[in-house]
Chain A
Amino acid sequence: MTPELYNFILKTADDCFILGHRNSEWTGFGPFMEEDIAFASMAQDKIGHAWLLYKMLDENPTAAETLAFKRAEKDFKCCHFVEQPIGEYDFSLMRHFLFDHADQLRYEMLMNSSFEPLAHFAKKFKGELKYHTMHADTFILQLGNGNEESKARMQSALNFCLPLALGIFEAYEGEQEIIAQNIFAGEKVLQAKWLEKISPIIKDAGLQMPDMASLQAVNGGRHGFHSDYLQPLLKEMREVVDAFPDAKEW
Chain B
Amino acid sequence: MYGNGYTSPEEAAKQKPDPLAGEDLQQLALFEERIAKGEKIEPQDWMPKEYRRQLIRMIEQHAHSEVIGALPEGTWITRAPSFKRKLALIAKVQDEIGHAHLLYNAAETLGKSREAMINDLLSGKSKYSNVFNYPATTWADVTVIGFLIDGAAIVNQVINAKGSYGPYCRALERICYEESFHLKQGHDALVHLAVGTKEQRAMLQDALNRWYRPIIHFFGPSDKASVHGTLLMKWKVKMASNDDMRNQFLDQYVPKIRELGLDFPDPKLNKNAEGIWEFSDPNWDEFFATINGNGPCNAERLAVRRWAEEHGRWVRKALMNPNQKQVLPLS
Residue numbers of A with Cβ under 8 A of B are: 21, 24-25, 27-37, 40-41, 43-44, 47-48, 51, 64-65, 68-69, 88-89, 134, 137-138, 141-143, 145-147, 149-150, 153, 233, 236-237, 239-241, 244, 246-250
Closest to B313 in A: A31
Closest to B308 in A: A29
Q: How far is the CB of B176 from chain A (nearest CB, A)?
A: 19
Point out the residue from B83, B308, B324, B326 that lies within 8 Å of A51, measured CB to CB. Answer: B83
Bound together, the chains give a CA A226 to CA B243 distance in angstroms of 56
Interface majority SS (helix, strand, loop, mixed), chain B: helix
Residues B300-328 near A (CB distance < 8 A): 304, 307-308, 311-319, 321, 323-326
A residues less than 8 Å from B35 (CB atoms): none
Contact A29 B304 (CB under 8 A): yes
Out of B71, B104, B318, name the residue touching A142 (CB < 8 Å): B318
Is B94 a contact partner of A246 (Cβ separation < 8 A)? Answer: no
User: Bound complex: CA of A37 vs CA of B67, how far in Å?
Assistant: 12
Chain B residues within 8 Å of A44, by CB: 87, 90-91, 94
A247 touches B196 (CB 8 A): yes
A29, A36, A64, A153: the one contacting B83 at CB < 8 Å is A64
Q: Which residue of A lies closest to B77 (CB)?
A: A24
**Does the CB pair B315–A89 fall under 8 Å?**
yes
Q: Flag B41-83 by CB within 8 Å of A: 1 or 0 each.
A: 0000000000000000000000000010011001001111111
Expressed in whole angstroms, the minimum distance between the Cβ of A250 and any Cβ of chain B is 4
Q: Write the nearest CB–CB distance from B327 to chain A, whole angstroms.
A: 9
21 contacts between A and B (CB under 8 A): A27-B90, A27-B97, A28-B304, A29-B307, A29-B311, A30-B308, A33-B100, A35-B315, A40-B97, A44-B87, A47-B86, A51-B83, A51-B87, A68-B83, A134-B330, A142-B318, A142-B324, A146-B324, A150-B317, A246-B199, A250-B192
B312 to A147, Cβ gap below 8 A? Answer: no
Taking CB atoms, residues of chain B closer than 8 Å to A41 are 94
Whether, in the assembled complex, B211 has its beta carbon less than 8 Å from a beta carbon of chain A, the answer is: no
Interface string of B82-109 (1 = CB under 8 A from A): 1111110011011001101100100000
Nearest CB in chain A: distance from B237 CB, A: 25
Q: A27 vs B87: C-alpha distance in the bound complex, in angstroms?
A: 12
In the bound complex, do residue B94 and residue A37 qualify as a contact, i.e. CB atoms below 8 Å apart? Answer: yes
Q: Which residue of A lies closest to B98 (CB)?
A: A37
B90 touches A24 (CB 8 A): yes
Residue in A40, A147, A236 whose CB lies within 8 Å of B91? A40
Contact of B144 with A by CB under 8 A: no
Which A-chain residue is minimally distant from B75 (CB atoms)? A28
Known contacts being A89-B315, A237-B79, is A244 close to B200, with CB within 8 Å? yes
Docked complex Cα distance between A59 and B147 (Å): 32
> Which among B85, B197, B308, B321 is the interface contact of A147 at CB below 8 angstroms?
B321
Given the contacts A27-B70, A145-B324, A145-B326, A247 and B97 also touching, CB distance less than 8 Å:
no
Taking CB atoms, residues of chain B closer than 8 Å to A247 are: 81, 196-197, 199-200
Q: Which 3 A-B pairs have the closest CB atoms?
A: A31-B312, A146-B318, A150-B318
Please, which residues of chain B bring their CB within 8 A of the CB of A36? 70, 94, 97
Give chain B residues whose Cβ lies under 8 Å from the Cβ of A51: 83, 87
Residues of B within 8 A of A153 (CB): 314
* Residues on the A chain within 8 Å of B91, using CB: 40, 44
Give the residues in chain B near A150, CB-CB below 8 Å.
Answer: 314-315, 317-318
